[in-house]
Structure 1
Amino acid sequence: MLDKFREGLAAETHPTASVKMFATYVRQTPKGSEIGDFLALDLGGTNFRVLHIQLDGQDTKMESKIFLIPQVIMSGTGVQLFDHIADCIYKFMKENRLLDKELPLGFTFSFPCRQEGLAKAILTTWTKGFKCEGVEGNNIVELLHAAVKRRGDIKVKCVAVINDTVGALMSCAHSDRKCAVGIILGTGTNACYIENLDNVEVWNEDKNEPKTVIINTEWGAFGDDGCMDRIRTEYDRQVDKHSINPGMQKYEKMISGMYMGELVRLVLEKLRRHNLIFCGKGSEDLSTRGRFYTKYVSEIESDIDDGFKNTKQVFEELGLEHYLVEDCRIAQYVCSLVSRRAAYLAAAGTAAILHKMGRHEVTVAVDGSLYRFHPHFHDLMVEKIQALCPNTRFRLMLSHDGSGKGAAIVACCASSNTSSSPAASMANLHLEK
């Protein structure tokens, strides 16, 4: 992982690097005294959120609403996607009586992007089940503004675009000055951290103070060059083969919530075919790709006694009628193997970042449904990071609404300075080294 980080940061190897290490234009972390009234968008999966955020120092007021992105739009055109987003913004603003206001907007867009400015992010590739035509290679802020213009009935201007890792980092750094890493463990997985500019050969802007920039690692693509093939299993290969992006995001497919349930299903179905579970009798749901949800893994592993209440309920939801107590134990064991591997892989990536930074004490902001809801993920990560980084004091800190609050904090700093320089736009943020 460290080798791939260095390849992504080096000018010579960056074009072919699997882990892209994109430099964001966020150069510093917040002071904690930011003030303002903002809209924020959060797009990183099938759920899309619109938020109204009022910052007043450490006091934050937030209203939000979740809108679904239908499958037909996820695989449609970019125009359809951004028209749908603009429609959601309109509905939210109307509901919250904001149509008469012109609010700066921060956009958390959690897909691999090449950042060319605070408000200029070029989508390099879709992930997490999205495949909208006409978006890859384009500036997503321009596409959003075009959709807003087509409507003509809302007044918003996107002044900053970030991904959810940066949002998590910025949100936690608002209250913890030692926060220097942001990690997402949800539908997908990614990480960012604060890097010294001297190590970022791909940085083509000024190198004035501050001498730092947040790097969006895009570590989900680790292994796409084959470096992890020796530890990938037949189940990983099946998940990859039937995904929307075969051969890509291999590390992510071994960790994240979009794939964990399917890995468990494949193992259980193989055991069933060999008459080792469920008396050899399955169900239509168990044999259907994607039907074993990742939330089932968390629910099954939450059973704390031999009553297996949650596990039995999951079996019933899957239409499984022939099972013994021993089958409940086997299912729980399979879930624990898949989730432990995911947590250890995520911990290894985190440890690589901590080694790369070389700090003695770091707070790591973590967000995402997998980390939030799995009963053991946090403890497993802490255990393995401690083993891999024995000389680093670290804390895993749950980021509360980083995708919304973090976007608002960056938007606040971008909109409070009229300079066209991306670095100057962030001038009123402060980083404590």
Structure 2
Amino acid sequence: MKFVLCCCRPKRKTLTVKDICQELVLNHEAIKEVCSCLQEEINRGLGKDSNPEATIKCFPTYVRELPNGKENGRFLALDLGGTNFRVLLIELGAKCTMDSRIYAVPQPIMVGPGDGLFDHIAECLASFIKERDLGTELLPLGFTFSFPCKQEGLTKARLACWTKGFKCPGVEGRDVVELLKQAIARRGDVRIKICAVLNDTTGTLMSCAWKNHNCRIGLIVGTGTNACYMEKLEKVELWDGSTDEPPQVIINTEWGAFGDNGCLDFVRTEYDNTIDRESINPGRQLYEKMISGMYMGEIARQVLVRLVSDGLLFGGYASDILLEKGSFFTKYISEIER
């Protein structure tokens, strides 16, 4: 392993490690300002006239009721939202049991043709069904597709834009359920009935509400970040469905794009700006790039390089690995904390 003397920064007033890291810590007033901006952007997303320009799109999910804990049966689930995806067999009854398998999504598939992605999903689904000898059953399937989508019904959702490193052409603006159905049809060996397409936040809210009936918010901070919540229909100007009881609907905020209009510039750092500038989608999903797992390791690496450059760490010498983009994984932060 090689070590490189970092001396790329001009001389400046002597700072401590704490001084440099302090810009990553928000004070109470800054947090209040972020909350105020978030509320304003959510209101804009819910408004019919303001939604087109809103960064937080607040998509209605068409899910209007939460489980009561008495649901039962066997169900399949697909969960796609990052570099891995899961296929699950879920049995609801007196208790919930799950059998699942994780499949990788190789980098070439993440950026290759859209049909290739859905063919890969269908292939893994077929393998899961065959391994568990489920081929004779027509099982209902829920499809968790954790990317910004404009939902047009329980089983119809058009991809608004790719995030989290995906860039498959030919998918944006199209119904992802239909693309999955076409991939399954091309195989001809999978018997399922797709009953719902939803975001992972909605799935989180539904599954937690099955256990705790007071749950009203689903929040994800994983590869990316997003949140959903139960909203009154009277506040959802975008709603075009039935106004029958219950007068509520789960809203998928897609808050990963919070700050894309510049409202969070007052808390963004040089590290955030570098992450965004070097990403595959500059200027988009800025909030997600500030806090989610896909980017946290790289932010930490940049801070370490800054500390070394200022002579505050490792005697001013950095290993060649530390200077390599993407070499410091988010999981290292958790491992160090433990």
Answer with 12-21 or 272-281: which moved more: 272-281
Show the counterpart of 1:417: none
Show the counterpart of 1:178: 214
1:162 is the counterpart of 2:214: no
Show the counterpart of 1:74: 110
Structure in which a larger fraction of residues adopt helix: 1
SS at match of 2:177: helix
SS at match of 2:68: coil
Task: Name the aligned partner's letter for residue 41 of structure 1.
Answer: L
1:138-153 pair list within 5 angstroms: 138-153=174-189
Q: State the distance in 2 between where 1:240 and 1:66 align.
A: 29
Shift of 1:250: 0.8
1:54 is the counterpart of 2:91: yes
Show the counterpart of 1:29: 66
1:265 is the counterpart of 2:297: no
Gaps of 5+ in 2: 1-37
Show the counterpart of 2:223: 187
Show the counterpart of 1:92: 128
2:235 corresponds to which of 165, 184, 199: 199
1:15-414 pair list within 5 angstroms: 15-56=52-93, 58-302=94-338
Gaps of 5+ in 1: 303-433
Task: Name the aligned partner's letter for residue 265 of structure 2.
Answer: D
Q: State the distance in 1 between where 2:320 and 2:274 align.
A: 19
SS at match of 2:318: coil
Deviation per CA, 1:275-331, whole angstroms, max 9, x where unpaired? 2211222122211111111111111222xxxxxxxxxxxxxxxxxxxxxxxxxxxxx
- Alpha-carbon RMSD across the aligned residues, in angstroms, is 0.9
SS at match of 1:179: coil
SS at match of 1:276: coil
Q: Between the two proteins, what is the percent identity of the paired residues?
A: 58
Say if 1:145 and 1:157, in contact at 8 Å, map to a contact too. no
Show the counterpart of 2:26: none
Q: State the distance in 2 between where 1:99 and 1:292 align.
A: 43
Q: State the distance in 1 between where 2:204 and 2:241 align.
A: 25
Say if 1:103 and 1:157, in contact at 8 Å, map to a contact too. yes
| TM-score, scaled to structure 2 | 0.88
Deviation per CA, 1:245-274, whole angstroms, max 9, x where unpaired? 110111111111111111110011122123
Shift of 1:32: 0.6
Deviation per CA, 1:374-416, whole angstroms, max 9, x where unpaired? xxxxxxxxxxxxxxxxxxxxxxxxxxxxxxxxxxxxxxxxxxx
1:13 is the counterpart of 2:75: no
| TM-score, scaled to structure 1 | 0.69
Deviation per CA, 1:108-155, whole angstroms, max 9, x where unpaired? 111101100000011001110100111110000000000000001111
Task: Name the aligned partner's letter for residue 289 of structure 1.
Answer: K
